[in-house]
A and B are shown apart, each in its own frame.
Chain A
């Protein structure tokens, strides 16, 4: 946009502006604070190393989010396996996803819509996505059948998807 120099000062401003939100974003994928820090750190480093050749049609923020998500996905894979097939990484990225610039806004909306869910559905969603529990554990916790857990989950997800369209 502006022809400002991409120098250390500017880089530090980018750090200040996006660090917390990126941490939040990456944590969702890796569920570990230390790993999140490392990934966010590496995303910033990658941005810095590419600063001379950044495409100006993409904001540094969008770059950071894309890099961070790719790194998080790689982390999920590399825990077990070193991926050598670069082609598959590219294909993964062609899919259409929501614009990262709206991510923070979507979080607020989502929190609001979850509050509108029936109580049981909300509980199941929480246990599944926040506590990371398996169907069996959720069923035991709530004293309902596994099938009911699945039904609640499915209904809740479909509702949230339709609201976030």
Chain B
């Protein structure tokens, strides 16, 4: 690269950034038409942000901006662009951006190999048939089976779908399928009675291909959100040492093997929770969460914000009122990392915040770091959480 050109460009760059009024449109256009110059501008933008004694946007400003934005999307049709030419260019820019992004990721193989890339979870699961045969499911593939009067389809929007074929009334023995979602996975499922289930990472659900008899029974390990189709026949979610009975309702169950507690959170309708060790039945109402101690079988009920426990079905991490211990369990399952707490006392600090679940793991961890008294260190798949020494508390 020519040293001379380089010098001139930096001087021009600062005139562009701070004294634009001195420059003619042609000068600007011609300078920006060079790829090297645009690269220099990108660098300058980055240097400025990296070196500037960092000024965060205040929470008040952010709220103002949020309101302005949310108000605007309520009234479609009003598109006021502040700079001439915006509206016309945006359409093109977005599609051009696509090309640009894809080619840029193709051209960076060396960056990826430096550290093992940690990916967020994705749409994937394994279906286990009665004969032990396993079928890998991803959003695009279509597994179709229509034996025994039930059609089984797999598609991109609904996940795995079981639909009853009315012509057949097979009252013979029930056949069960098992849907296993690995760590770093997520899968929706529509059962033959119309009940919708979302299975979260590291979970499995066993269910009959067709429901018949006196009970609609399913067996869960892990986390699932149910929207149960109303019916006279009770729907029963069997868990370890407990079960949940409902008629028609929406609720989230979190019952991972090895966790200290099982949680059932009710969005609508009502559910009856049976703890087998304690031999008690507890009925909870919408907005309530039942917690059962996995060892003793003891149950507790409290009021919660239900959205916190169901937004994962919409691709949103919602950490409101969750403690770091719960948050890290979610992160470990979604990003397939191992979490180690160096300092125990931070484990039960509560956090607030939402993040899209497609986020890079480091973005999520940085947000947590910024809002709490913790520091994280990510080495390969090992995530270490320590107390931050320069914290205020």
* A-to-B contact residues, CB < 8 Å: 1-5, 8-17, 19-20, 23-25, 27-29, 31, 37-38, 40-42, 44-46, 48-50, 55, 57-63, 66-67, 69-71, 73-84, 86, 88-90, 92-108, 110-111, 114, 125-126, 128-130, 132-135, 150, 153-154, 157, 160-161
Closest to A70 in B: B93
Chain B residues with CB under 8 Å of chain A are: 3, 6-7, 10-11, 14-18, 20, 23-26, 28-29, 32-33, 35, 38-39, 41-52, 54, 56-57, 61-62, 65-66, 68-70, 72-73, 79, 81-86, 88-90, 92-94, 96-105, 107-108, 111, 120, 122-123, 139, 156-157, 186, 188, 313-316, 353-360, 362-363, 366-367
How many Å from the CB of B371 to the closest CB on chain A?
Answer: 12
* Contact indicator B35/A2 (Cβ below 8 Å): no
When chains A and B are docked, how far (Å) is the Cα of A111 from the Cα of B116? 24
Inter-subunit contact B101/A1 (CB<8 Å): no
Are the C-beta atoms of A58 and B101 separated by less than 8 Å?
yes
Distance, CA A93 to CA B38, complexed state (A): 10
Cβ of A114 and Cβ of B50 under 8 Å apart? yes
A77 engages B314 (CB within 8 Å): no
Pairwise interchain contact A28-B49, C-beta atoms closer than 8 A = yes
Out of B7, B20, B65, B111, name the residue touching A153 (CB < 8 Å): B7
CA distance A2 to B99 in the complex (A): 23
For the complex of A and B, 5 pairs with smallest distance between CB atoms: A28-B45, A81-B25, A4-B315, A66-B97, A2-B315
Instruction: Please name all residues of chain A whose beta carbon is closer than 8 Å to the beta carbon of B357 when the two chains form the complex.
Output: 1-2
Residues of chain B with a CB closer than 8 A to A82's CB: 84-85
A81 to B99, CA, bound (A): 27
Instruction: Write out the residue numbers on chain B whose beta carbons fall within 8 Å of the beta carbon of A27.
Output: 48-49
Specify which chain B residues have a CB less than 8 angstroms from the CB of A111 in the assembled complex: 50-51
Could you give 28 example pairs across A and B, Cβ below 8 Å?
A: A1-B122, A3-B139, A5-B314, A8-B73, A15-B70, A19-B57, A24-B49, A28-B48, A31-B48, A45-B79, A48-B73, A57-B102, A61-B356, A67-B90, A70-B93, A74-B83, A77-B29, A78-B84, A82-B85, A89-B92, A94-B100, A95-B38, A95-B100, A110-B47, A125-B51, A129-B47, A130-B47, A135-B11
For the complex, what is the distance from the CA of A20 to the CA of B39, rounded to whole Å? 23
* B45 lies within 8 A of A25 (CB): yes
Give every chain A residue within 8 A of B23 (Cβ-Cβ). Answer: 80
Closest to A21 in B: B363
Indicate if the CB atoms of A66 and B14 lie closer than 8 Å.
no
User: Could you tell me if A133 and B46 are in contact, using CB atoms closer than 8 angstroms?
Assistant: no
Q: Is the CB–CB distance between A31 and B17 below 8 Å?
A: yes
B90, B103, B123: which contacts A2 (Cβ < 8 A)?
B123
Among residues of B, the one whose C-beta sits closest to the C-beta of A95 is B35
Which of these, A42, A106, A125, contacts B81 with CB under 8 Å? A42
Task: Pick the contact of A70: B62, B81, B89 (CB < 8 A).
Answer: B89
Chain B residues contacting A107 (CB-CB under 8 Å) are 46, 49-50
The CA of A102 and the CA of B90, in the complex, are separated in Å by 24
Assess the A1–B315 pair: CB atoms within 8 A.
yes
Q: Are B51 and A130 in contact (CB under 8 A)?
A: yes
Chain A neighbourhood of B45, CB < 8 A: 25, 28-29
| Contact yes or no, A76 B28, CB < 8 A | yes
Contact B85 A84 (CB under 8 A): yes
Cα A137 to Cα B3 in complex, Å, equals 21
Q: For B65, give its contact among A19, A48, A67, A157 (CB under 8 Å).
A: A19
Q: Which residues of B contact A66 (CB under 8 A)?
A: 93-94, 97, 100-101
Distance to closest chain A CB from B65 (angstroms): 6
Are A12 and B50 closer than 8 Å at their CB atoms?
Answer: no
In the complex, the chain B residue whose C-beta lies closest to that of A81 is B25
Residue of A nearest to B120 (CB): A1
